[in-house]
């Protein structure tokens, strides 16, 4: 007899990665309680931003639309930067395809201070669906897929195109049906430089739907920015426009997919498992670009400092702060900040390392500067000095308060920071 304890054990206990992911999400919610929508760290290969459907007033869509103002509804820093996020020049990308008609991708706002870059853009969310029945030759190019469009919730069905709905209903009824989706959309890759030769790496992003159905996106890029993008007086930004099509066919028993056009050449590619595969699937194809130039916004940097004690040991803290970024440096005498890592040793000899401390930095209004989660110390566990990075609040604070939380002991230390002369 297999008992339920064994069943439970077979599905495993939460692993380190799962625990870390859950803890990080809950920390972010605690830190941002006042904000109704969370910004999500973009993971490599999965640039799927948190989707927030907003109902916007007609006034917001009038001429002079400022996307920083819209995203700033739940991120005060962006609201502060909105007046400085106007572009120098802007050329929308206008494309036309037989299936999706005319559509436009437009870089609407950007903010750049030589060190940081934030860009907001829109596309028309152009998608069209048609019924599709493959020939035997076409079916041979398609890949069998498990579980596709199964378990669709009723509310999801209501948001689908009628052709998609027909597919779901046919699949539930065990009847053959297929569709093809054609789409045109803004790439999630952006390039800089006169010829677009420098790829910018996104760090965090957000997106929303405007009242007129367009999609609006906000992208913030990794710092330090690449050589050739840092410390420029002006930047030219290039955003590719992509076209894609994919087909789905249910033959009454199995489901088949093909990503890309029907007449694509067979190609060999390396999958994430490191193995080489061959097939007819292909990705989106660039068909145009939106271009804009943004001028550098002069920004002021201020240094703050404070003293405190932690675990009974004096701690000196300095912070260099701009409107969008704060770097905090801690120096402790003795061993106050020793062992910044909790080491979880595995029976097989490996080890997982978790940061022992959590930090919050708030300004005089109580607004939180978001910690980027990184501790830049040395490579030894006994470091007593560290650098921490935070997002700014869109302006220079009058004063700051750093809170150090020890996750092992639940100990808390608060250190007040005031501007240095």
Check residue 268 for interaction with another protein (CB under 8 A): no
Tokens found for residue 322: 């701009």
CB 364 within 8 A of CB 325: no
CB 321 within 8 A of CB 362: no
Determine the Cα angle at 148 with ends 143 and 150, to 5°. 155
Check residue 333 for interaction with another protein (CB under 8 A): no
Check residue 182 for interaction with another protein (CB under 8 A): no
Measured CA to CA, the distance from residue 264 to residue 268 in angstroms comes to 12
Report DSSP state, residue 264.
P
C-alpha atoms less than 13 angstroms from C-alpha of 38 in its C-beta half-sphere: 14
Check residue 30 for interaction with another protein (CB under 8 A): yes
Closer residue to another protein (CB): 46 or 136 = 46
CB 161 within 8 A of CB 130: no
Closer residue to another protein (CB): 114 or 373 = 373
Single out the residue of 190, 258, 317, 386 in contact with another protein (rule: CB under 8 A): 258
Single out the residue of 158, 268, 272, 345 in contact with another protein (rule: CB under 8 A): 272
Check residue 158 for interaction with another protein (CB under 8 A): no
Measured CA to CA, the distance from residue 389 to residue 376 in angstroms comes to 9
Report DSSP state, residue 23.
H
Tell me how many residues contact another protein (CB under 8 A).
57
Check residue 37 for interaction with another protein (CB under 8 A): yes
Q: Which stretch binds another protein (CB under 8 A): 24-32, 125-133, 168-176, 353-361?
A: 24-32
Closer residue to another protein (CB): 48 or 376 = 48
Tokens found for residue 317: 């803290």
In the complex, the smallest distance separating the C-beta of residue 359 from another protein, rounded to whole angstroms, is: 17
Check residue 345 for interaction with another protein (CB under 8 A): no
Check residue 351 for interaction with another protein (CB under 8 A): no
Beta strand extents in 229-365 (DSSP E only): 234-250, 255-259, 267-270, 276-279, 285-295, 302-310, 313-321, 325-332, 341-345, 351-355, 357-363
Closer residue to another protein (CB): 3 or 409 = 3
In the complex, the smallest distance separating the C-beta of residue 263 from another protein, rounded to whole angstroms, is: 17
In the complex, the smallest distance separating the C-beta of residue 67 from another protein, rounded to whole angstroms, is: 20
Check residue 410 for interaction with another protein (CB under 8 A): no
Check residue 151 for interaction with another protein (CB under 8 A): yes
Tokens found for residue 97: 């395809």
Check residue 286 for interaction with another protein (CB under 8 A): no
Check residue 264 for interaction with another protein (CB under 8 A): no
Check residue 257 for interaction with another protein (CB under 8 A): yes
Q: Which stretch binds another protein (CB under 8 A): 97-105, 143-151, 190-198, 395-403?
A: 143-151
Considering only residues 52 to 111 of the shown chain, the ones binding another protein according to CB under 8 A are 52
DSSP line for 150-183: -S--HHHHHTS-HHHHHHHHHHHHT--EEEEEEE
Closer residue to another protein (CB): 31 or 292 = 31
Measured CA to CA, the distance from residue 253 to residue 265 in angstroms comes to 28
Check residue 136 for interaction with another protein (CB under 8 A): no
Single out the residue of 114, 160, 246, 407 in contact with another protein (rule: CB under 8 A): 246
Closer residue to another protein (CB): 135 or 278 = 278
Check residue 154 for interaction with another protein (CB under 8 A): yes
Tokens found for residue 172: 């539930």
Closest-CA residue to 49 (of 71, 26, 78): 71
From residue 405, how far is each of 25, 361, 411 by CA, in Å?
A: 17, 11, 6
In the complex, the smallest distance separating the C-beta of residue 2 from another protein, rounded to whole angstroms, is: 5
Check residue 50 for interaction with another protein (CB under 8 A): yes
Check residue 173 for interaction with another protein (CB under 8 A): no
Check residue 271 for interaction with another protein (CB under 8 A): yes
Check residue 259 for interaction with another protein (CB under 8 A): yes
Which residues fall within 8 angstroms of residue 369, CB to CB, at 6 or more apart? 326, 361, 362, 363, 390, 391, 392, 393, 400
Single out the residue of 98, 137, 146, 270 in contact with another protein (rule: CB under 8 A): 146
Check residue 20 for interaction with another protein (CB under 8 A): yes
Measured CA to CA, the distance from residue 264 to residue 257 in angstroms comes to 14
Which residues fall within 8 angstroms of residue 368, CB to CB, at 6 or more apart? 31, 32, 360, 361, 362
Residues within the interface to another protein (CB under 8 A): 1-4, 6-15, 17-22, 24-26, 28-30, 33, 36-38, 40, 43, 46, 48, 50, 52, 142-151, 153-154, 246, 257-259, 271-273, 277, 281
């Amino acid at each position: 007899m297999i008992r339920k304890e064994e069943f439970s054990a077979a599905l495993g206990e939460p692993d380190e990665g799962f625990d870390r992911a859950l803890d990080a999400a809950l920390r972010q919610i605690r830190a941002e309680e006042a904000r109704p929508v969370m910004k999500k760290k973009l993971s490599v290969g999965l640039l799927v931003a948190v989707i927030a459907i907003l109902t916007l007033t007609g006034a917001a869509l009038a001429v002079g639309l400022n996307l920083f103002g819209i995203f700033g509804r739940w991120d005060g820093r962006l609201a502060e930067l909105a007046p400085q996020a106007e572009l120098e020049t802007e050329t929308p990308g206008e494309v036309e395809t037989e299936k999706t008609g005319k559509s436009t991708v437009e870089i609407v706002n950007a903010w750049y201070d030589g060190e940081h870059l934030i860009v907001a853009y829109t596309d028309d969310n152009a998608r069209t669906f048609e019924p599709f029945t493959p020939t035997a030759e076409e079916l041979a190019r398609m890949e069998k897929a498990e579980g596709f469009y199964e378990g669709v919730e009723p509310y999801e069905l209501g948001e689908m195109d009628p052709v998609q709905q027909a597919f779901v209903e046919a699949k539930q009824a065990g009847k053959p049906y297929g569709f093809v989706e054609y789409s045109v959309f803004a790439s999630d890759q952006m390039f800089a430089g006169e010829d677009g030769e420098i790829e910018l790496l996104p760090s965090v992003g957000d997106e929303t739907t405007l009242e007129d159905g367009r999609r609006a996106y906000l992208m913030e890029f990794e710092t330090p920015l690449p050589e050739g993008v840092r410390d420029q007086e002006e930047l030219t930004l290039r955003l590719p426009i992509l076209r894609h099509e994919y087909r789905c066919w249910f033959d009454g028993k199995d489901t088949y997919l093909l990503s890309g056009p029907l007449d694509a050449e067979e190609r060999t590619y390396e999958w994430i498992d490191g193995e080489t595969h061959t097939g007819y699937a292909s990705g989106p194809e660039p068909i145009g670009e939106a271009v804009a130039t943004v001028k550098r916004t002069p920004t002021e940097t201020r240094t703050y400092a404070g003293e405190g004690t932690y675990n009974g040991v004096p701690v000196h803290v300095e912070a260099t702060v701009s409107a969008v970024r704060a770097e905090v440096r801690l120096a402790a005498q003795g061993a106050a900040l020793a062992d910044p890592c909790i080491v979880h040793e595995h029976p097989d000899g490996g080890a997982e390392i978790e940061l022992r401390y959590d930090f919050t930095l708030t300004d005089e209004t109580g607004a939180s500067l978001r910690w980027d989660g990184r501790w830049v110390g040395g490579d030894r566990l006994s470091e007593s000095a560290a650098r921490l990075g935070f997002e700014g609040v869109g302006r220079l604070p009058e004063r700051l308060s750093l809170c150090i939380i020890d996750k092992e002991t639940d100990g808390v230390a608060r250190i007040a920071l005031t501007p240095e002369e």
